[in-house]
């Protein structure tokens, strides 16, 4: 079955540690996205990539980094510079740019203490 996988579902880290969230898709989609969701809030765009080896900052990129070395993979690193990293992180993909339907992964809930 085609889809998007994110791992792990729950992640716990100590403050000051970098952590990498995995996102893989087998839909052959060109575009991939990372969103952050806080309780009772909408989805805020962290980074997006419309093609391999290229990515752009979203609205809240500070303290995060990404790479897009393969079409199917778009890992997100939450660095120690991110002041409030505890949140629900969602990865999504679309066949092309933002005008197309986005398919979301199940999300990773990150807790930093």
Partner 1 sequence: QQPVQSPQAVILREGEDAVINCSSSKALYSVHWYRQKHGEAPVFLMILLKGGEQKGHEKISASFNEKKQQSSLYLTASQLSYSGTYFCGTDNTDKLIFGTGTRLQVFP
Rounded to whole angstroms, how far apart are CA atoms 6 and 80?
21
To partner 1, the closest distance from the beta carbon of 60 in angstroms equals 12
For tokens 């993979």, name the residue. 73
Among 8, 59, 81, 95, binds partner 1 (CB under 8 A): 59
Q: Is 1 in the site for partner 1 (CB under 8 A)?
A: no
Q: Is 101 in the site for partner 1 (CB under 8 A)?
A: yes
Rounded to whole angstroms, how far apart are CA atoms 75 and 51?
14
Q: Is 34 in the site for partner 1 (CB under 8 A)?
A: no
**What residues pair up with 89 in beta bridges, in sequence order?**
36, 108
Q: Is 75 in the site for partner 1 (CB under 8 A)?
A: no
Q: Is 41 in the site for partner 1 (CB under 8 A)?
A: yes
Q: Is 104 in the site for partner 1 (CB under 8 A)?
A: yes
The set of residues, in sequence order, having a beta carbon less than 8 Å from that of 88 and lying 6+ positions away, is 36, 37, 38, 107, 108, 109, 110
Name the residues that contact partner 1, by CB under 8 A. 33, 35, 41-45, 48, 56, 58-59, 90, 97-107
């Amino acid at each position: 079955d085609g889809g998007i996988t994110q791992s792990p579902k729950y992640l716990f880290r100590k403050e000051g540690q970098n952590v990498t969230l995995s996102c893989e898709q087998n839909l052959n989609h060109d575009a991939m996205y990372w969103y952050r969701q806080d309780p009772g809030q909408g989805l805020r765009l962290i980074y997006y990539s419309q093609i391999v080896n290229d990515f752009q900052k979203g609205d809240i990129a500070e303290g995060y980094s990404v790479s897009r070395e393969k079409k199917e993979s778009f890992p997100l690193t939450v660095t120690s510079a991110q002041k409030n990293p505890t949140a629900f992180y969602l990865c999504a993909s679309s066949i092309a740019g933002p005008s197309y339907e986005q398919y979301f992964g199940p999300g990773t809930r990150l807790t930093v203490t």
